[in-house]
Amino acid sequence: GAGVSQSPSNKVTEKGKDVELRCDPISGHTALYWYRQSLGQGLEFLIYFQGNSAPDKSGLPSDRFSAERTGGSVSTLTIQRTQQEDSAVYLCASSSSSYEQYFGPGTRLTVT
């Protein structure tokens, strides 16, 4: 079956612009996660959705970051007024159980 998909795969944007990243989880997976991975670094947790609600937003680095999930399926991560330090790979994962998370291929964001 189809895995987690993310779009775009690559995004280059100018500092100060807003970007929107999309995640399509595996059908039927109720949990959805966003992570960020900078070059040579581990994964940094951003936000977690259970259904459409986000019980844990503790990882969002600033109020420029927001995320939503509609219909218990697709999620979008929005970064407003992008900064160069936002450059990273943004990974989305979905899960039906509590622990095995299936990751998408990521969106590589470059802020110039």
Q: Which is nearer to other proteins, 8 or 55 (CB)?
A: 55
80 vs 96, beta carbon nearer other proteins: 96
CB closer to other proteins, 17 vs 57: 57
Minimum CB–partner distance for residue 105 and other proteins (Å): 6
Comparing CB distances to other proteins, the nearer of 59 and 64 is 59
Closest distance of CB 48 from other proteins, Å: 5
Neighbours of 62 (CB within 10 A): 11
Instruction: Work out how close the CB of 94 gets to other proteins at its nearest, in angstroms, rounded to a whole number.
Output: 12
- Residue 68 Cβ vs other proteins, minimum distance, rounded to whole Å: 18
Residue 45 to residues 21, 49, 57, 60, Cα–Cα distance (Å): 16, 12, 9, 8
Residue-by-residue DSSP string for 50-91: ETTEEEE-TT--STTEEEEE-TTS-EEEEE-S--GGG-EEEE
d(CA 61, CA 41): 16
Question: Which stretches of the chain bind other proteins, using CB under 8 A?
Answer: 31, 33, 35, 41-43, 45, 48, 50, 55-56, 58, 91, 98-101, 103-106
Distance between CA atoms of residues 74 and 32, nearest Å: 9
